[in-house]
């Protein structure tokens, strides 16, 4: 009986979390639509935040780190929930950071850590964390081991985390091109 009640509670919580649609309208402005169809404007101008466009058909499958001056300074591929809806959409905040972590719900058979560099953004255990981006997750956001330390060290508790099922690259592309070309020139000069 206890398991049934817990399962029903989990389904209700998950459904409520998935009912929020988040649509990017500019680099720092978004529209959130709740399950009743009510729209809420979200303006993150002047704030650091992380945006995740989950890996689904109409999304980018990337995370974006946006600093308070509106510059997208870091982006990389991710993997997300194994089925549509496993990763909740909406506006969240980083609740806690944990450098070394093992999932209690989905532990590795050998006992090794499988959620290092965790940035937890829901009370139900959803997090951005180190993981293989070639495989889907149980709802978390997997970030490659070369990218997650930068994101983890930059992010702070309370920082907004936006999860969308829409594309964001059109807003990020100019910044990422500029950063990539600058880094490419710097790397060439350094080698010479």
Do the beta carbons of residue 79 and residue 52 sit within 8 Å? no
**What's the token pair of residue 107?**
């532990």
Q: Is the pLDDT of residue 118 over 80?
A: yes
pLDDT tens-digit readout, 44-62: 999 999 999 998 888 999 9
pLDDT tens-digit readout, 156-180: 999 999 999 999 999 999 999 998 8
- The CATH superfamily holding the domain 46-191 is L,D-transpeptidase catalytic domain-like (2.40.440.10)
**What's the token pair of residue 160?**
């907004």
Strands (E) located in the chain: 21-24, 29-33, 39-43, 49-53, 62-66, 72-79, 90-93, 96-98, 118-120, 127-130, 141-143, 160-164
Average pLDDT of the residues of the chain: 85
Q: Where are the domains of the chain?
A: 46-191
Nearest-angstrom CA–CA distance, 51 and 86: 17
**According to the model, what pLDDT value does residue 191 have?**
55
Q: Tell me the mean pLDDT in the region 125-136.
A: 92
**According to the model, what pLDDT value does residue 147 have?**
97
Residue 137 DSSP class: B
**According to the model, what pLDDT value does residue 116 have?**
94
pLDDT tens-digit readout, 67-108: 999 999 999 999 998 665 689 999 999 999 999 887 777 767
């Amino acid at each position: 009986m206890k398991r049934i009640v817990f399962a029903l509670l989990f389904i209700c919580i998950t459904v409520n979390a998935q009912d929020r649609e988040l649509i990017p309208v500019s680099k720092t402005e978004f529209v959130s639509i709740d399950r009743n169809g009510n729209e809420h404007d979200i303006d993150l101008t002047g704030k650091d935040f992380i945006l995740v466009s989950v890996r689904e058909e109409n999304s980018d499958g990337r995370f974006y780190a946006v600093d308070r001056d509106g510059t997208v300074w870091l982006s990389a591929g991710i993997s997300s929930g194994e089925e549509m809806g496993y990763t909740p959409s909406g506006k969240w905040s980083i609740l806690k950071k944990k450098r070394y972590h093992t999932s209690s719900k989905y532990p590795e058979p050998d006992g090794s850590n499988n959620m290092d560099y965790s940035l937890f953004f829901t009370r139900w255990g959803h997090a951005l964390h180190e993981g293989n981006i070639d495989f889907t997750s149980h709802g978390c956001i997997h970030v490659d081991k070369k990218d997650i330390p930068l994101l983890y060290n930059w992010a702070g508790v309370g920082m907004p985390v936006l999860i969308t099922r829409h594309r964001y690259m059109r807003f990020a592309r100019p910044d990422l091109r500029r950063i990539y070309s600058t880094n490419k020139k710097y790397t060439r000069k350094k080698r010479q």
